[in-house]
Amino acid sequence: MKTFESDDGHVIVRLDRGDRALESLTDACEDHDVDTGVVVSGIATFSNLNIHYVDRTDLPEEQADRNVDVQLDGAWEVTNVGGVVADGEPHLHVTAFDGERMVGGHLEEGCEVNVLGEFTIRKVEGLSLHRRPGEHDVSQLQHR
């Protein structure tokens, strides 16, 4: 991983083959003191894709009963990554294509970069956010 920071608070993150995407972006937030921010762009290729998504509208109390975990091997072209950083923790969603199917969901740990990754994080000054459980135990942004 290599990072670059502009004078106006943008952090560009370059991930190389073998780097883990979410873990590296979390490290970049720590290295550049990004407490609250926005991942405004992200492209990459992954050699595996770990995501989860919600497949229900009734939202049972147990998160395990409403989330579908997906672990996919093979080459994945990541066409977009975006989300919010709150309390230094990125909450990101991803869209990816393997040549036959397009999938999307909440980015999980363990996605290894196949060829490259390029992400832009924008610090948000003057605002401190964190996530706390809300209705149905859904993690929600709140002022800290």
Continuous H helices in the chain: 21-31
pLDDT value, residue 93? 98
Which of 62-66, 79-83, 117-121 has the weakest average pLDDT? 62-66
* 121 token code pair: 């994080």
Query: Span 120-129, mean pLDDT?
Result: 97
Domains of the chain: 2-143 (3.30.1330.80)
Q: What is the reported pTM? A: 0.94
Please give the pLDDT value at position 72: 98
In which residue are the tokens 């091997």 written?
Answer: 73
Distance CA 49, CA 98 (A): 10
Average pLDDT, the chain: 94
- Across the range 107-120, mean pLDDT stands at 98
In this structure, what token pair is assigned to residue 33? 């003191």
10 has pLDDT over 90:
yes
Per residue in 67-100, pLDDT tens? 899 999 999 999 999 999 999 999 999 999 999 9
Q: Which of 1, 99, 110 is nearest to 51 (CA)?
A: 110
Q: Is 66 helix (H, G, I), strand (E, B) or coil?
A: coil
In whole angstroms, what is the distance from residue 26 CA to residue 29 CA?
5
| Cβ contact 13:121 at 8 Å | yes
Measuring CA to CA, which residue among 13, 22, 8, 35 is closest to residue 119? 13
